[in-house]
Amino acid sequence: MEKAYHSIGELAEATDTKVETVRYYERIGILPAPKRTSGNYRAYSAGHLARLSFIRRARDLGFTLDQVRALLALADQKKQDCGTVDALAREHLADIDRKISDLKALRRELSGLIGQCKQGTIADCRILSALSPR
Amino acid sequence: MEKAYHSIGELAEATDTKVETVRYYERIGILPAPKRTSGNYRAYSAGHLARLSFIRRARDLGFTLDQVRALLALADQKKQDCGTVDALAREHLADIDRKISDLKALRRELSGLIGQCKQGTIADCRILSALSPR
DNA sequence: TGTTGACCCTGTACCGACTACAGGGTGCAG
DNA sequence: CTGCACCCTGTAGTCGGTACAGGGTCAACA
């Protein structure tokens, strides 16, 4: 049988989170405060583990904590249609696409600059002049 | 003839920066404090404009303020070989490549989830279950 | 039984790179 | 001379944590 409760350290390790971060999530109200042991240690249930896993995974996917809050709120009130969730994800995908194309533009620009300074002095460094006011 | 001095608002507009950000740059010592008018307004020279343009452009390209500081220090002490600058840029390019591939992986994952929830209820939403503990 | 040492507690301050006021002063046009 | 846009300083807030300081708890081992 599974252990009924987990310490904060176990929870943190299981979800690849720092202990301080778990406490931070509790403080900002995204992870409910668990029961305490007689020694005042936090005692987390499987539900806490599930919720923290959800939060971490969504964070890994780049959702902000506010978006995670929204997703959790939706998940909590079941029986609604999940178009809202889909819309949230689509919006997020559009953000990601924007970032990717920005980074690609940046990459092109920067890689064009590299390797042009092999023996020059700062005075005629192409990277610095590319960054200088046009 | 060009105007000799610029107000903080003009400088900000010319470099697409917020006025508060310009003051912030001065406070952290990356943009030198300009002369003041009799009314205690900041009066920026063309040199300030050039330096701020440099900072903003480097920031747009994703350099941190610390990296910008390093670039400015190099640019200031001319006549050195610019291999250092080149190395800094190469390092940065590697960062960009990492970011791009991370985002692409994320994109794949997220776009696989989207569009699977057309008529379901939250109870069987694939996005939510993909986020739930495995 | 006593003492290590790993873990836990609270509270607060800090990070980067800004952003947003509050509460006041300046400068110019009508 | 009044109104308004702009400027000043100083401080606090944003996001998502991270890093202590200064203590308490617990289990194992001598």
Q: In this predicted model, what pLDDT tens digit does every residue of B47-71 receive, in sequence order?
A: 999 999 999 988 988 888 998 998 8
**pLDDT tens-digit map of A12-55:** 999 999 999 999 999 999 999 999 999 999 999 999 999 999 99
CA B41 to C1' D3 (Å) is: 21
**Are A85 and B128 an interchain contact pair (Cβ–Cβ within 8 Å)?**
yes
Residues from chain A that touch B119, judged by Cβ atoms under 8 A, are 81
Does residue A16 lie within 7 Å of nucleic acid chain D, judged by its CB? no
Cross-chain Cβ contact A61/B89 below 8 Å: no
Highest mean pLDDT among B40-44, B95-99, B128-132: B40-44
Percent of chain B at pLDDT > 90 equals: 42
Q: Please tell me the distance from the alpha carbon of residue B133 to that of residue B47, in angstroms, as a whole number.
A: 56
Contacts across the A-B interface (CB distance below 8 Å):
153
Question: Which CB contacts under 8 angstroms, 24+ apart, belong to B9-17?
Answer: B10/B44, B11/B44, B11/B48, B11/B49, B11/B52, B14/B49, B14/B53, B15/B49, B15/B52, B15/B53, B15/B56, B16/B56, B17/B52, B17/B56
CA dist B86 and A114 (Å) reads 6
Query: Could you read off the pLDDT of A74-122 as tens digits, one per residue?
Result: 777 655 667 777 888 888 888 888 888 878 887 887 788 777 766 666 7
pLDDT-derived band at B134 (thresholds 50, 70, 90) equals very low
Q: What is the mean pLDDT of residues B14-43?
A: 96
Protein residue at shortest CA distance from C1' of C20: B20
Phi, psi (degrees; rounded to nearest 5) at A52: -65, -40
Averaged pLDDT, A7-12: 97
In this prediction, residue B128 carries a pLDDT of 66
Q: Report the nucleotide nearest the CA of residue A30, measured to C1'.
A: D16
